[in-house]
Structure 1
């Protein structure tokens, strides 16, 4: 299977048009265009009955105490965890494209609804937990929301964009399912998968 994320290049920075947060001199960051990238695929294995698209950041601090705090830094030695940014499942077997901006075009305060989207079914990304304490932003974040790493992190973050060809028409997920639920449901059903890994930082010392 060949997969192409338009504008996302292996080992290169994620373009700002796909980011939830962009660098700003005042206040360290501001909201970005937050568009989902176009993703297309071909040379699909025989027996494919649906597709899933997953994007996650593997470099999120496991402890958030110092995140985005003035006068502090997030140490590069801190253990890191996965943070899911995009979960799209039950994409029909006939599909070969998710257009740019189809699943997200701009930051939606309090989030986009999970469930049936323009293409496939949206899971819940980890902005749901990250923004839970912010009264202006707290909500359930479905579908795509792009990179927004801590502006004081010593580590450049890595974003993994993946497409999976699956041997089932549906993963049987509904409600507010998360990234771990998607990974568990896909187990034993992946016929092929492809990944592109790009980077992003809001730390001016690393840009």
Structure 2
């Protein structure tokens, strides 16, 4: 199976139009266009009955004490964990494209609703936890919300855009399910997978302007 993420080449920076946060010289970060990129996939194996679409960042610091703190940096030596940015399940087997901006077009304070979306069923991404302490932004974030790594992180972040072909029509997930629930539910049902990885940073010392 093959996947193309329009505008993102393997190993190259994710364009700012797909980002939740963009670099700001004055404030370190400001809200970005937060549009989901166009995904196109082909050559799904025979027997495919649905797809899972996910995007996640495996480089998120496991300890957030120094994240986005003036005068501090997030050490490259801190253990890293997965942060899910996009979860779509029960995408019909007849689908092979998600248009740009179809699942997200702008930052929505307090998040988009989980459940049935324009394509498939939206799971809950990790902005739900990350923004929980912000009274203006706290809420349940579902569907796509793009990159916004700590602006003081010493490492470049990687973003894996994936499509998985499954042998079941539905994973039976509903409500506020997360990335761990998706991975558990699709275990043993994956016929094929495809991935494109982009990079992103808000650290001015790592940016290639």
Q: Shorter-chain TM-score: what band?
A: over 0.9
Q: Counterpart of 1:116?
A: 116
Aligned residues: 207
Compute the displacement of 1:66 (Å): 0.3
Q: Counterpart of 2:200?
A: 200
Q: Counterpart of 1:30?
A: 30
How do 1:1-207 and structure 2 match up within 5 A?
1-207=1-207
The one-character-per-residue Cα deviations of 1:60-96 (angstroms, maximum 9, x if unpaired) are: 0000000000000000111000000000010001111
Secondary structure, aligned partner of 2:112 = coil
Compute the displacement of 1:111 (Å): 0.1
Compute the displacement of 1:42 (Å): 1.0
In 2, the alpha carbon distance for the partners of 1:35 and 1:195 equals 19
The one-character-per-residue Cα deviations of 1:175-204 (angstroms, maximum 9, x if unpaired) are: 000000000011000000001111100000
In 2, the alpha carbon distance for the partners of 1:42 and 1:151 equals 36
Secondary structure, aligned partner of 1:128 = helix
- For structure 2, the residue ranges without an aligned partner over 5 or more in a row are none
Once superposed, which parts of structure 1, at least 4 consecutive aligned residues long, lie more than 4 Å away?
Answer: none
Instruction: Let me know the Cα RMSD of the aligned residues.
Output: 0.5
Compute the displacement of 1:2 (Å): 1.4
Secondary structure, aligned partner of 1:163 = strand
- For structure 1, the residue ranges without an aligned partner over 5 or more in a row are none
In 2, the alpha carbon distance for the partners of 1:166 and 1:187 equals 10
Secondary structure, aligned partner of 1:87 = strand
The one-character-per-residue Cα deviations of 1:5-50 (angstroms, maximum 9, x if unpaired) are: 1111111000000000000011101000000000011111000000
